[in-house]
Amino acid sequence: MNAIRTTPPRPFDVTALFPQLAALARTATRLHPRPGSPTVHDSSVGGPLLWPADEPWPHCNEPHDRRAAPVVHSPDDIRLLRRIRAASAERLHHDPEAPDRTSEELETLERIRAGRPWFNGPIPLLPVAQLYARDVPFPCPSGADLLQVLWCPFHHAEHPHPRTALFWRSSATVAAVLDAPPEPPIVQDGYYLPAPCLLSPEQVTEFPHPRELDKELRDQLDDMSRWESIEPARYNTYADDPGELYLGNLSTAPGWKTGGWSSWPRTDPVPRPCPECGTEQVPLLTIASSEWDGISKSWIAEEERTNPAPPPLGAQDGNFTLLDIIGGYDLQLHVCPESPGHPHIELLP
Q: Give me the pLDDT at residue 42, please.
A: 98
Q: Is the pLDDT higher at 226 or at 46?
A: 46
Q: Give me the pLDDT at residue 336, please.
A: 97
Do 99 and 204 lie in a common domain?
no
CB 199 within 8 A of CB 1: yes
Specify if 49 maps to a domain.
yes
CB 296 within 8 A of CB 287: no
Provide mean pLDDT across the span 222-236. 74
Specify if 6 maps to a domain.
no
* 320 phi, psi to nearest 5 deg: -105, -15
Specify if 9 maps to a domain.
no
CA of residue 286 relative to chain centroid, distance: 5
- Helix, strand, coil percentages (3-state) for the chain, rounded to 5, are 25, 20, 55
Q: Give me the pLDDT at residue 225, please.
A: 79
- For the cut 60, the answer to whether the pLDDT of residue 295 exceeds it is yes
Q: Is 152 helix (H, G, I), strand (E, B) or coil?
A: strand
Specify if 7 maps to a domain.
no
- For the cut 70, the answer to whether the pLDDT of residue 64 exceeds it is yes
Q: Give me the pLDDT at residue 327, please.
A: 86
Do 86 and 64 lie in a common domain?
no
CA nearest neighbour of 189 among 47, 78, 35, 312: 78
- For the cut 90, the answer to whether the pLDDT of residue 233 exceeds it is no
CA distance 311 to 308: 9
Do 66 and 159 lie in a common domain?
yes
Q: Give me the pLDDT at residue 27, please.
A: 97
CA nearest neighbour of 257 among 284, 282, 281: 284
Specify if 335 maps to a domain.
yes
CA nearest neighbour of 188 among 323, 97, 321: 323
Do 234 and 335 lie in a common domain?
yes
CB 333 within 8 A of CB 149: yes
Helices assigned H by DSSP within 213-312: 215-221, 232-237, 242-249, 302-306
Q: Give me the pLDDT at residue 59, please.
A: 98
Out of 133-147, 267-281, 300-314, pick the least confident.
300-314
Q: What band does 221 get if pLDDT is binned at 50, 70 and 90?
A: confident
Do 35 and 166 lie in a common domain?
yes
What CATH number does the domain containing 34 carry?
Answer: 2.30.320
Do 42 and 106 lie in a common domain?
no
- For the cut 60, the answer to whether the pLDDT of residue 284 exceeds it is yes
Q: Give me the pLDDT at residue 340, please.
A: 95
* 308 phi, psi to nearest 5 deg: -65, 135
Specify if 8 maps to a domain.
no
Do 29 and 98 lie in a common domain?
no
Do 193 and 227 lie in a common domain?
yes
Please identify, among 64, 94, 114, the residue that sits at the C-terminal boundary of a domain.
114
Do 31 and 173 lie in a common domain?
yes
pLDDT in tens, 75-112: 999 999 999 988 888 898 889 989 999 999 999 999 99
* HSE value, Cβ hemisphere, 13 Å, CA-based, for 137: 9
Q: What band does 282 get if pLDDT is binned at 50, 70 and 90?
A: very high
Cβ partners under 8 Å of residue 233, min gap 6: none
Residues of the chain with pLDDT > 90, as a percent, come to 69
Do 196 and 105 lie in a common domain?
no
Please identify, among 114, 140, 171, the residue that sits at the C-terminal boundary of a domain.
114
Specify if 225 maps to a domain.
yes
pLDDT in tens, 34-60: 999 999 999 999 999 999 999 999 999
Specify if 201 maps to a domain.
yes
Do 156 and 226 lie in a common domain?
yes
Number of domains in the chain: 2
- Output the average pLDDT for the chain: 91
Task: Determine the structural domain holding residue 204 and report its residue range.
Answer: 14-74+116-347
CA distance 38 to 15: 39
Do 223 and 324 lie in a common domain?
yes
Residues of the chain with pLDDT > 70, as a percent, come to 94
Q: Give me the pLDDT at residue 258, please.
A: 98
